[in-house]
Amino acid sequence: MGRFLLFCGLLLFGLGIRQAARAQAPAPPTQRLTSWWWKPAGTTEFGRPDAASPWRPAYWCNTAVDGQPGPARQLWLRTRVTISEAQSRTPMLLVLRGWSTASEVYWDGQLLQRNGRLGPQGEQPGRWHQQLPLTPAQAQAGAHTLLVRVSNQHFADRPWQPVATLTTWPRLLAQQQQETSSATLIIGILGASALFCGLLYVGFARQRSYLFLSAYCGLHALKIYGGLRGAAPDASVAEYFLLVHDVSYLALLANNLCLLAFLVLELRLPRARWWLTGALVFSGAAYGWLPVSFYFVVFTVVLVAAGLLAVRLRREVSRWALAGIVGLTGLTFLGYLWLLPLGYYWGIVCFIGLMAFALGRQLVQRHRAQQQAQLRSARLENELLRKNIQPHFLLNTLMSLQELIEENPRQANQLIDALAAEFELVSSIAEEKLISIEDELQICRTHLQIMGFRRQSEFVLETRGLLGTEQVPPATFHTLIENGLTHGYAQRGTGRFVLTKEPLGRGVRYRLFNDSDAAACGRPVVEGTGSRYVKMRLEESFPGAWRLRSAPVSDGWAVEIDLLAPSQ
């Protein structure tokens, strides 16, 4: 386990360091262009902004023109680009993404490309991606001015986050290849995980948490695939908004709901319905009103809260789930800072990896527990059958029978009948975990009859408050009666057992009284095989919901068994 975590940690650390080292290189082959200035469209004036100039700093998410909400419909954007001597020796190109709807790009005042047709009248959307090669004359070392005229009449209400990058061809190709291969790898991992969790759902009692985890993995794999298609170089703005924005946002909502449902069900959090209903309402509202980033932050807080609550409630795999959520958040943040490409998806892989490990361990433990339970049941069944063929019981009965055959043949026949009846009854219920108390009482009375013959005594069993349909583990009271006979009736010609049922606040109490001399003998109470058998049977059928007390009372001995109803 330690080695696995160390490997994951080193892998992620390596990826982060690699990206950080690239970002901090002195002359980056890829230069993201920032520090944009803007003014409304209508002029082609160039030059540095000053107090008298109408140019103003541009913040992509908060661009407003003269009180207009959202990005301006027609505007100019301008930035300065510095090309070093080293960069100027390599063929360079400008990569523009998301400059919807239509745009014109000017490099040092020279029109490089027209993407679509500018509005407001007759605006035609262009492509989402633009790759604009610069000639060696254009890409000379020194300062350059990049000017973009934008018209966004068609998608004015869409979030607008244009990106401009100055890079080289080899670098662009390498970057695209790396992103595609990483995305493909993640799709493979998530697809396999979805399949595995689906099989777990089918194979393990249709536990719904596995189904939600499967959906979480599968939807993310589809989301990445859709993103790859939407981010294709020839994708239109409409395709991009559909595949990358709308579908992606919806997928994110669905995925996070699946993730929360998985955590709530798997970690058995209280008030599951409230958690899920609240998350559903919030997600619905967020789709209409909140930007993705804000929604993501709020939902991450919800996920961390769920994880912390589970840890506090000491749920199984809760620590692993919390570690996965923290890993997911951390890697997503690295991706947001451009330190780790596809950081969010690597975060999901991290979460899935940790959960797969934790669930795998949990399944192994459950499998072992199940095997032990089966083994215990088999042992109990075996023990029950052995009770009737154990030498002390069987051989003493046979020897008593020898005597009766010679001295009292009529009683000998009765003893044989009772013995056969007990064998038949015990054999018929040995495989059961619960039997009706009526059957149990029949076995008890038959056993008392046999012991009455053997000891030439008279034993009776009285019942109070029983319906006959109550379910009890097989041979529970039979064993307790056998114990009572063994330890308390050495020199007695009669014996009386009374089985009473009383309701409890939460459950029911069975009380078996006998008028034996066990208490008077003053022998120390030692737990024997009979008591252990009864306790194991109770634990098998009512795990953790039973109590057994055995103690002397004023005129005999009493055993009380409380069967507690499961708490709500």
Partner 1 sequence: MRVLIVEDEALVASRLARLLRAALGERLSSVVVQPSLESAQFFLQDTPIDLLLLDLNLNGQDGFALLQQAVAGSFHTIVVSANKQRAIEAFDYGVLDFVGKPVTAERLQKALARFDHRELRAAAPLKYLAVRRRQAIRLLDIAEVLFIKGAGIYSELHLRNGSVELHDKSLQRLQAVLPPDFQRVHKSYIVRLVDVRQLLSHGSSKYELELLSGTLLPVGRERYKELKQALG
Determine if 491 is a binding residue for partner 1 (CB under 8 A). yes
Which of 487, 514, 534, 537 is in the footprint of partner 1 by CB under 8 A? 487
CB of 138 or CB of 531, closer to partner 1 = 531
CB of 447 or CB of 487, closer to partner 1 = 487
Closest approach, Cβ 444 to partner 1, in A, equals 18
Tell me how far apart the alpha carbons of residues 448 and 198 are, in angstroms, rounded to a whole number: 55
Determine if 392 is a binding residue for partner 1 (CB under 8 A). yes
Cis peptide bond prior to 329, omega within 30° of 0: no
Task: Name 167's bridge partners.
Answer: 93
* 3-class DSSP string for 331-392: HHHHHHCCCCCCHHHHHHHHHHHHHHHHHHHHHHHHHHHHHHHHHHHHHHHHHHHHHHHCHH
Closest approach, Cβ 528 to partner 1, in A, equals 7
Stretch 398-457 residues interacting with partner 1 (CB under 8 A): 398-404, 407, 453-457
Closest approach, Cβ 445 to partner 1, in A, equals 20
Q: Which amino acid is at 110?
A: Q
Closest approach, Cβ 376 to partner 1, in A, equals 25
Distance, CA of 160 to chain centre: 35
CB of 11 or CB of 398, closer to partner 1 = 398
- How many residues in the shown chain lie near partner 1 by CB under 8 A? 27
- DSSP assignment of 499-552: EEEEEETTEEEEEEEE--SHHHHT------HHHHHHHHHHHHHSTT-EEEEEEE
Task: Name 142's bridge partners.
Answer: 83
Q: Are strands 129-134 and 92-97 parallel, antiparallel or unpaired?
A: antiparallel
Tell me how far apart the alpha carbons of residues 516 and 550 are, in angstroms, rounded to a whole number: 13
Q: Which residues contact 544 (CB under 8 A, 6 or more apart)?
A: none
Closest approach, Cβ 408 to partner 1, in A, equals 9
CB of 234 or CB of 407, closer to partner 1 = 407
- Per CB under 8 A, which region of 44-52, 190-198, 240-248, 486-494 contacts partner 1? 486-494
The helix/strand/coil state of 116 is coil
CB of 144 or CB of 487, closer to partner 1 = 487
Determine if 394 is a binding residue for partner 1 (CB under 8 A). yes
CB of 288 or CB of 391, closer to partner 1 = 391
Determine if 395 is a binding residue for partner 1 (CB under 8 A). yes
- Per CB under 8 A, which region of 83-91, 169-177, 389-397, 460-468 contacts partner 1? 389-397
Closest approach, Cβ 512 to partner 1, in A, equals 17
CB of 369 or CB of 399, closer to partner 1 = 399
Which residues contribute to the site for partner 1 (CB under 8 A)? 391-392, 394-396, 398-404, 407, 453-457, 483, 486-487, 489-491, 521, 523, 528
